[in-house]
Structure 1
Amino acid sequence: MTDIGRLAPGAARDWCGTMPVHRRLLDSDPGYARAREEIETFTFGAAREEPPPLGLVTIPTIVHVVWSQAAQNIGDDQVATQMEALNRDFRKRNVDLVLLPSVWAPMAADADIEFVLADVTRTRTDVGSFDTDDSVKSARSGGVDPVSTDTHLNLWVCQLGGGLLGYAQFPGGPPETDGVVVTHTAFGSSGTATAPFDLGRTLTHEVGHWLNLRHIWGDDGDGCGGDDFVADTPNQAGPNYGRPTYPKVSCNNAPHGDMFVNYMDYTDDAAMVMFTLGQAARMAAALRGPRSGLLAAAATS
């Protein structure tokens, strides 16, 4: 399998395994391909219709800590810092918004999504490290099975191999593997969290995928023909790394250049500070459509 590690600032590597998982499912599961087509048709329709806001949506979240060494069995305080970071980022309450170039400030969105910790499970494993094959999501392969994926966000925190920081499953995939995986050294902002990925933004990025956001450059390598299906994110030539300086121009997107401050880029945690209004609308469409079980659960709770 391709090495997909986020290894160091400026390193030209993919640190997120979501797209390899997406491509694997497209190749192996015809039902997934059909589901993705239906989801995108629904999402584009919702964008045209501009439905009324959903209001605040609260997503119950289950954290599965899967560990083989004591340091990987992260403490409740580290879990708490990650939940706090996730809520700050999705509610536009992060103090580092001051880093946002003024041209993009009007586009920064409060996604009206919050996350509440429903449970933490802890499972010891004989597996030294996991990959993007979803083995951490199954007790049969040394991980732990998810719980109620239609009504809960399942998170797995473990040791990922090859420098990989995390991956998610887009809406429409198999329920038995639905959720987000993050390596323990990029989870939260205390304990084993390690700079420059120690502000909880790996999970912010991956939950964005789980709510149907694409990478901001459109996943076409370094070309200029990719599309993240969001109108208010500038086209850019591939991911950014480290902490770029504004403006970072590519794909004829001068004068303002790449929106490298976006959570769906590959910059360091300290450089990514925003979702756009268009991205928030796309996540709301996911909650109305393929993730609607979350709304139903909230209504009955």
Structure 2
Amino acid sequence: MPGMQPGLRTTSPSDYSRWCGAMEVHRRLLDENPEYSENRTLIENHAFAYEQRREAVARQGVTDVPVVVHVVHNAPAQNISDDQIASQIDVLNRDFRKKNPDVSRVPAVWQSLAADARVEFHLAQTDALGSPTSGITRTPTSIPSFSTDDTVKFTSDGGHDAWPSNSYLNLWVCQLRGGLLGYAQFPGGAAATDGVVIAYTAFGTNGTATAPFNGGRTATHEIGHWLNLRHIWGDDDQGCSGSDFVADTPNQGGPNTGSPRFPRVTCLNGPDGDMFMNYMDYTDDAAMFMFTEGQVARMDAVLDNARLPFTRQLASV
């Protein structure tokens, strides 16, 4: 989509393409925050060592992540139900454990690469003060829609403040500007803005979730970013020179949308072509259904390093 400002998109009933603002946020933070830039360098060096198996993986078993969902609503429909939230948690637990039934659709050439990330999610049962909680906050707002500027993450700006990011994965659900389905903050950023934002029409599998993004995969994609995964094509504006820093994902020419047919060859990557069924592409929810072993190595690296304080807190939350 050359020439389009990152993260900006208008939609019509015939134009429903996934659009993620994670790289827009990443570039903004690189410009604004030298500490973020330094942190990102350290995190990437650590991730490279894990993928090259030069550093032993310390994470064992399954990492269980407490989640708090901040529903920020300007209209009744945006105040999504508990059932819709529960449906999203169910999807995450299938997708990150390779228990999603559609993983059987991975082409034979890549079936051995499809991986269990060994990460599970549950709604938090106690808040930061130790009091019982449903893991859901609900905040009415006068703001008609939010963007990638993180205002939804602050009560003073019409959103809701994050819970401590070393103990919880913060998910904000709200009305996002036209065409933006969600965004995440990569590891290494400020605690006050750490987490994931999802459009209320792309969260979960029922209620206000709207086809073709009613399979809960927007949250899977964005939490992939939260765990340090890049877009599979490398964000080089279809230049065939970008990288997601994962060796077992094929190089591809740009994002795929809709539901492509296998194989789809770009950047001379035949005969198998693009791994468009990967969660880190832009395809419809029903067309994405796998992480790879290399992507899981990057998740291991961040859970053993940049998000290690978070991981250590899990047993007490």
Cα deviation for residue 4 of structure 1 reads 2.5
Q: Distance in 2 between matches of 1:14 and 1:188?
A: 15
Q: 1:158 aligns with which of 174, 178, 185?
A: 174
- Provide the residue aligned with 1:74 in structure 2: 80
Secondary structure class of the residue paired with 2:296: helix
- Provide the residue aligned with 1:276 in structure 2: 292
Q: Which one-letter code corresponds to 2:207 in the other structure?
A: G
Gaps (5+ residues) in structure 1?
none
For the structure 1 residues 101 and 59, does the alpha-carbon distance in structure 2 shift closer, same or farther, using more than 3 Å as the test? same
Secondary structure class of the residue paired with 1:49: coil
Q: 1:96 aligns with which of 82, 102, 107?
A: 102
Q: 1:238 aligns with which of 243, 254, 264?
A: 254
Q: How many residues align?
A: 301
Identity %: 57
State how 1:16-31 maps to structure 2 within 5 Å.
Answer: 16-31=20-35
Q: 2:149 aligns with which of 115, 133, 154?
A: 133
Q: Which one-letter code corresponds to 1:104 in the other structure?
A: W
Alignment partner of 1:117 is 2:160: no
For the structure 1 residues 46 and 98, does the alpha-carbon distance in structure 2 shift closer, same or farther, using more than 3 Å as the test? closer
Q: Distance in 1 between matches of 2:71 and 2:226?
A: 19
- For residues 152-209 of structure 1, the C-alpha deviation after alignment (integer angstroms, 9 at most, x for no partner) is 1000000001220000000000111000000000000000000000000000000000
Q: Which one-letter code corresponds to 1:93 in the other structure?
A: K
Q: Does the CA-based 8 Å contact 1:237-1:251 persist in structure 2? A: yes
| CA RMSD across the alignment | 1.7
For the structure 1 residues 6 and 191, does the alpha-carbon distance in structure 2 shift closer, same or farther, using more than 3 Å as the test? farther
Secondary structure class of the residue paired with 1:155: strand
Q: 1:85 aligns with which of 84, 91, 95?
A: 91
- Provide the residue aligned with 2:43 in structure 1: 39
Q: Does the CA-based 8 Å contact 1:11-1:241 persist in structure 2? A: no
Deviates more, 1:92-101 or 1:105-114: 92-101
- Provide the residue aligned with 1:61 in structure 2: 67
- Provide the residue aligned with 1:5 in structure 2: 9
With structure 1 as the length reference, what TM-score do the two structures score?
Answer: 0.96
Cα deviation for residue 49 of structure 1 reads 2.4
Q: Distance in 2 between matches of 1:15 and 1:127?
A: 21
Which runs of at least 4 in structure 1 moved beyond 6 Å after TM superposition?
none
Q: Distance in 2 between matches of 1:253 and 1:225?
A: 12
With structure 2 as the length reference, what TM-score do the two structures score?
Answer: 0.91
Gaps (5+ residues) in structure 2?
125-134
Secondary structure class of the residue paired with 1:251: coil
